[in-house]
């Protein structure tokens, strides 16, 4: 049984269509769905309860994976002495324009400036030098959930803000091989996590030297294609080599009683993942959240007709109890001040994967109407099988959203051989472009300057393919097929 929705009640019509102005659409969804709001400090945001609940679900699911691979959580100071950063000049240069400094404590001027954590390699490196003395102390596998401050000039909620939340792993190993294995393991973990829990397909690989993290020997990343055709870096994993260990004197006595510098890694994802969920799955009616991370997986809307409090609401509450016993996150919307049509629109805006409608006629027929947010498909389901079928539908929605995302990625990934084709596609179409690159920074910089596109990743699997071609820019021989895209 379909419910009539008065168009005047649909506040979602106030949202700017995605096809008309993607940036405006993105910000309007964040505010209308009550994910976040602008703080009184430029470039900062307040994450509201609904938005923070998404982050909590992401944090819970990822934290379990991190711990399952043998890592433990710890916490390090927010403030970093300037002398620590100065020890690693390359690292400081990489972050210098974005570092916020504390120069005064109370009424006294500090003897040494303190950086507000832009990342934690320096402070953690100092501590590791104290803790690590022998090969028996290795490996050190530590992760931190923390806030980060980078004084960005151009900001956008969740994607790039002055302060954001993230996790950062920092590990120490005996050998280069162990560090590389850790780095690639985390890259694979991130890929599996984003694809299975956020339903967002990604491409993975190494970054070019130009795009490498300051102080890293190698940087690896996962990149996703947003629905406007731009790429978004979703997470990074860095093999730091012995760079920081030599700066902070992180040495250990090996099994032959020789002093060795340790090998390190660092890796992280941030609240940028919430922005990716919006831009990957959202539509002109609001959010579309994958069930795995949705704060509310099912909303029950009792239809307020006649003596609904006496006849409908008790049955709706029974359904709520049954579904919660299945371990599902369920919300009952029994507010009297809003019509069912208004509620439908609001929960669509919030991206709740499944809506259950129940009215007097449904009760007589011993069934409910179930509506999927992803496809808007409607199905009448008997009350006697609802608690069994609802979890199955949620799993189907999760799989379907990933398949839809993968279809979009494949349809918007194009292979080119000429520079003219690359420029033409970037001007007229959207998405990833696969092309050969000679490995020289001059070609990389020319392409960025003329097209605004950058090399997002150099896929790892091509080593096995032994690919051969001509650089899309200079025409020289190349064995590196890379992904180009305009990006956030």
pLDDT band at 463 (very low <50, low <70, confident <90, very high): low
Residue 52 and residue 194 in one domain: yes
- Please tell me the distance from the alpha carbon of residue 259 to that of residue 133, in angstroms, as a whole number: 9
The average pLDDT across 328-340 equals 94
- On whether residue 4 sits in a domain, the answer given is no
Same domain for 428 and 384, yes or no, is no
Judged against a pLDDT cut of 80, whether residue 13 lies above it is answered with no
Range of the domain at 430: 413-485
Query: Which pLDDT belongs to residue 378?
Result: 97
Question: What is the reported pTM?
Answer: 0.94
What are 223-234's pLDDT values in tens digits?
999 999 999 999
Whether 35 contacts 51, CB under 8 Å: yes
pLDDT for the residue numbered 451: 96
Task: Say if 331 falls within a structural domain.
Answer: yes
Residue 162, helix vs strand vs coil = coil
Residues 95 and 142 in one domain: yes
Residue 391 covered by a domain:
yes
**How many other β-carbons are positioned within 10 Å of the β-carbon of residue 212?**
17
Rounded mean pLDDT, 10-14: 54
Confirm whether 286 is domain-assigned: no
The pLDDT, as a whole number, for residue 180 is 98
β partners of residue 66: none
Q: CATH code at 428?
A: 3.30.110.30
Chain centroid to CA 160? 12
Shared-domain flag, residues 273 and 300: no
Looking at residue 219, its pLDDT comes to 98
Q: Of all helices (H) and strands (E), which one includes residue 59?
A: helix 49-68
* Residue 8 located in a structural domain: no
Q: Residue 262 in contact with residue 174, Cβ under 8 Å?
A: yes
**Is a pLDDT exceeding 50 seen at residue 10?**
no
Which pLDDT score, from 0 to 100, does residue 307 have? 84
Q: Both 478 and 339 in a single domain? A: no
* pLDDT more than 70, % of the chain: 95
% of the chain with per-residue pLDDT over 90 = 89
310 and 427 co-located in one domain: no
Q: What one-character DSSP code corresponds to residue 359?
A: -
User: Is 277 in the same domain as 295?
Assistant: no
**Domain boundary at 256, 281, 306, which?**
281
Pair 347, 297 in one domain: yes
Task: Mark whether 138 and 270 lie in a shared domain.
Answer: yes
**Residue appearing with tokens 């949705």:** 294
Strands 432-436 and 454-457: unpaired
Q: Domain count of the chain?
A: 3
Average pLDDT over residues 419-430: 92
Tally Cβ neighbours within 10 Å of residue 384: 9
15-19, 292-296, 310-314 — which one is most confidently predicted on average?
A: 292-296
Do 199 and 341 belong together in one domain? no
349/326 same-domain check: yes
Looking at 339, 365, 396, the residue that finishes a domain is 396
Q: What is the pLDDT of residues 352-409, one digit of tens each?
A: 999 999 999 999 999 999 999 999 999 999 999 999 999 999 999 999 999 999 999 9
Same domain, 35 and 124: yes
């Amino acid at each position: 049984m379909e419910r009539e929705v008065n168009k005047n009640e649909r506040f979602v019509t106030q949202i700017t269509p995605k096809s008309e102005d993607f940036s405006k659409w993105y910000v309007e969804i964040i505010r209308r769905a009550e994910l976040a709001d602008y703080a009184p400090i430029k470039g900062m945001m307040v994450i509201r309860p609904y938005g923070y609940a998404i982050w909590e679900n992401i944090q819970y699911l990822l934290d379990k994976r991190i711990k399952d691979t043998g890592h433990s959580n710890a916490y390090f100071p927010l403030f970093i002495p300037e002398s620590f950063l100065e020890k690693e000049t390359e690292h400081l240069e990489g972050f210098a324009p974005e570092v916020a400094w504390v120069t005064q404590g109370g009424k006294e001027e500090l003897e040494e400036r303190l950086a507000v954590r832009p990342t934690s390699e320096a402070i953690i490196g100092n501590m590791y030098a104290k803790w690590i003395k022998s090969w028996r102390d290795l490996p050190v596998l530590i992760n931190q959930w923390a806030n980060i401050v980078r004084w960005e000039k151009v900001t956008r909620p969740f994607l790039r803000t002055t302060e954001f939340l993230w996790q950062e792993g920092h590990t120490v190993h005996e050998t280069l091989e162990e560090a590389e294995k850790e780095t690639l393991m985390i890259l694979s973990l991130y890929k599996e996590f984003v694809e299975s829990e956020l339903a967002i397909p990604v491409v993975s690989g190494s970054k070019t030297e130009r795009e490498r993290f300051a102080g890293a020997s190698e940087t690896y990343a996962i990149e996703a294609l947003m629905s406007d055709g731009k790429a978004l870096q979703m997470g990074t994993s860095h093999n730091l080599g012995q760079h920081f260990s030599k700066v902070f004197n992180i040495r250990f006595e090996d099994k032959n009683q020789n002093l060795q510098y340790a090998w390190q890694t660092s890796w992280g994802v941030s609240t940028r993942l919430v922005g990716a969920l919006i831009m990957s799955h959202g539509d002109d009616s609001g959010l579309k959240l994958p069930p795995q991370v949705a704060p509310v997986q099912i909303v029950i809307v009792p239809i307020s007709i006649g003596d609904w409090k006496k006849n409908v609401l008790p049955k709706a509450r029974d359904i709520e109890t049954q579904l919660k016993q299945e371990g599902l996150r369920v919300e009952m919307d029994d507010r009297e001040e809003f019509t069912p049509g208004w509620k439908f629109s609001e929960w669509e805006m919030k991206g709740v994967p499944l809506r259950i409608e129940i009215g007097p006629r449904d009760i007589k027929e011993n069934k409910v109407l179930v509506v999927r947010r992803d496809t808007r498909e409607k199905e009448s389901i008997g009350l006697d099988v609802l608690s069994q079928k609802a979890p199955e539908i949620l799993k189907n929605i999760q799989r379907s959203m990933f398949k839809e995302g993968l279809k979009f990625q494949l349809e918007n990934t194009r292979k080119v051989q000429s520079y003219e084709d690359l420029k033409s596609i970037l001007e007229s179409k959207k998405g990833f472009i696969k092309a050969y690159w000679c490995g020289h920074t001059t070609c990389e910089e020319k392409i960025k300057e003329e097209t605004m596109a950058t090399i997002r990743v150099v896929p790892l699997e091509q080593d096995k393919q032994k690919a051969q071609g001509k650089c899309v820019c200079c025409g020289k021989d190349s064995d590196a097929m890379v992904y180009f895209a305009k990006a956030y």
